[in-house]
Amino acid sequence: MQAAGDGEFINLIDSADCSLEPHNLEAHSVRNNILTVDAYDGSSDIHSDDNNKIGDKNNGANNKNDSAISGSNRIQSINSPAFIKDNIINGVDDIAISDILNSMEEAVVITNKENKVIFCNSYFMINFNINLNGCLNKNIKEIQYFKYLFSDDLTVPTEIKDLASGYKVTNIYEIDEQNHYFENDRIPIYDSSGEIKGIVYLFRDITKEIRFEQKLNILAKTDSLSGLYNSRYFYDELEKEMARCARYDYDLALMFIDIDNFKIFNDTYGHKIGDEIIRFTAYALNNSIRKKIDTVCRYGGDEFVAILPNTNAMRSTIVANRIMNFFNNGLNEKLQTVLKEDVCADNNTVADNIGADKKINLSIGISEYKNGKKSEELINEADSAMYRAKKQSGCKVCIFNNNL
């Protein structure tokens, strides 16, 4: 349902007291897309209009094809937010407007000029778990569901406000112990003189659309195997953090992490074992960084990256050592368990087959942001430091140094 534009009116039934008792109505004129309806006493007399005469009920029924209204006028008439029972829409016989509103796939609530609720459609009552008696004849501002609609207390989560679809959440309401999010439209209803007689409120539950888009966003920036952010997200986040550092003169360290001897394990014992090592590395990283401050991502293959805001290179070595300790203390036990479950029964000393010099470890390289550096330069420096650590037999932490 669209709101009337400038110079266009949608007319409410002209009822003196806006009571809830249904009146019989008849449309009596259509001019310039304006539908005018009056209460009548049940007789066959119908008001006429000099410029657009419709005639009495019998004549109108026998001459449907000769109706003076155009297709656009007819649509306007059907969409007029009337709610009185047994009304006949001009040009569409035997269809009550209340039935149309009750068949809509969105909630419809109508108030009179005193802001009292005079109609709620079936969708609103059923899907919102609203009791009709708790709404009718009450001021809309006093109904719990509408508490955010007339206040500035609504706080929409940032992850929803930032969605690309740009949902305009105007209400949050709990249904079945879960928050549901709603968009709404307010359509003023005018009589033929231009006086506001009430308001039609349309509410659409957009929770499913929001959840679906959030899942798509997660899939787009998440590595499915490790559960960490992927390389696409890493590049975006690094640019943001570097811009913030340049603006506020903050420290920033970038860490490249590589799994030593991963290919040997992966080729010897299969991808299932390799996947377990990847997942455990991600687990070690997540449990060693500052939550909601640092960012860890899977860069590709057996390489990972960590962005450490407000941290210089020397302080980042504390985080690097924490990662390596967590990894070394937990992986060997987990790896032995997984290997014993998957390799043949007579191979009980799998570690010996790899050799002491082929133990799974981590090599970590660190670079530090300086004002004026580009992201590509920072990445290459961390990558270079990481390869220097690997050349020194691995299981080491190296900070990039131009002099080396």
315 shares a domain with 374? yes
CB distance 46 to 25 below 8 Å:
no
Number of domains in the chain: 2
Residue 99 lies in a domain: yes
- Mean pLDDT is highest, among 61-70, 302-311, 331-340, 394-403, for 302-311
CB distance 371 to 262 below 8 Å:
no
Strands 397-399 and 361-368: parallel
Q: Give the pLDDT score at 341.
A: 63
Report residue 400 as tokens.
């990039």
CATH code of residue 143 = 3.30.450.20
266 shares a domain with 184? no
Q: Give the pLDDT score at 300.
A: 92
- How far apart are alpha carbons 315 and 7 in whole angstroms? 67
CB distance 316 to 366 below 8 Å:
yes
Q: Give the pLDDT score at 160.
A: 86
Residue 281 lies in a domain: yes
State percent of the chain over pLDDT 70: 69
289 shares a domain with 154? no
Residue 70 lies in a domain: yes
Residue 15 lies in a domain: no
Q: Give the pLDDT score at 95.
A: 58
Q: Give the pLDDT score at 193.
A: 87
- Is pLDDT of 86 > 80? no
374 or 127, which is more confident: 374
Q: Give the pLDDT score at 83.
A: 41
Q: Give the pLDDT score at 18.
A: 40
Residues of the domain holding 169: 25-212
**Interval 170-182: pLDDT, tens:** 888 888 888 888 8
- Among 153, 188, 212, identify where a domain stops: 212
- Among 212, 247, 280, identify where a domain stops: 212
232 shares a domain with 208? no
- How far apart are alpha carbons 233 and 251 in whole angstroms? 21
**69 pLDDT tier (thresholds 50, 70, 90):** very low
Q: Give the pLDDT score at 361.
A: 87
196 shares a domain with 304? no
Residue 362 lies in a domain: yes
232 shares a domain with 181? no
Residue 57 lies in a domain: yes
Q: Give the pLDDT score at 399.
A: 94
**42 pLDDT tier (thresholds 50, 70, 90):** very low
CATH code of residue 260 = 3.30.70.270
CA–CA distance from 372 to each of 2, 10, 318, 368, 404 (Å)? 53, 61, 26, 12, 21
pLDDT mean over 13-28: 37
DSSP letter at 389 equals: H
291 shares a domain with 367? yes
* Strand, helix or coil for residue 80: coil
Q: At 196, which amino acid appears?
A: I
Which one, of 34, 25, 64, lies nearest residue 52 by Cα?
Answer: 34
- Mean pLDDT is highest, among 26-30, 217-221, 260-264, 315-319, for 315-319
Report residue 157 as tokens.
């989560």
Residue 101 lies in a domain: yes
282 shares a domain with 142? no
- Is pLDDT of 251 > 90? yes
- Among 212, 233, 251, identify where a domain stops: 212
**Interval 213-246: pLDDT, tens:** 988 888 889 999 999 999 999 999 999 999 999 9
CB distance 196 to 188 below 8 Å:
yes
Q: At 65, which amino acid appears?
A: N
pLDDT mean over 382-392: 93
Separation of first and last alpha carbons in the chain: 70
295 shares a domain with 241? yes
- How far apart are alpha carbons 223 and 395 in whole angstroms? 25
Cα dihedral sign, 34-35-40-42: positive
CB distance 81 to 167 below 8 Å:
no
- Is pLDDT of 391 > 60? yes
233 shares a domain with 114? no
**Interval 48-64: pLDDT, tens:** 344 444 344 444 444 44
CA–CA distance from 392 to each of 96, 260, 321, 363, 385 (Å)? 83, 11, 16, 9, 11
Of 92-96, 139-143, 177-181, 339-343, the least confident: 92-96
CA 383 to chain centre: 36
Residue 341 lies in a domain: yes
282 shares a domain with 197? no
385 shares a domain with 310? yes
**Interval 151-170: pLDDT, tens:** 777 888 888 888 888 888 88
Q: Give the pLDDT score at 221.
A: 92
**Interval 313-364: pLDDT, tens:** 999 999 999 999 999 888 766 666 666 665 543 444 444 444 444 578 899 9
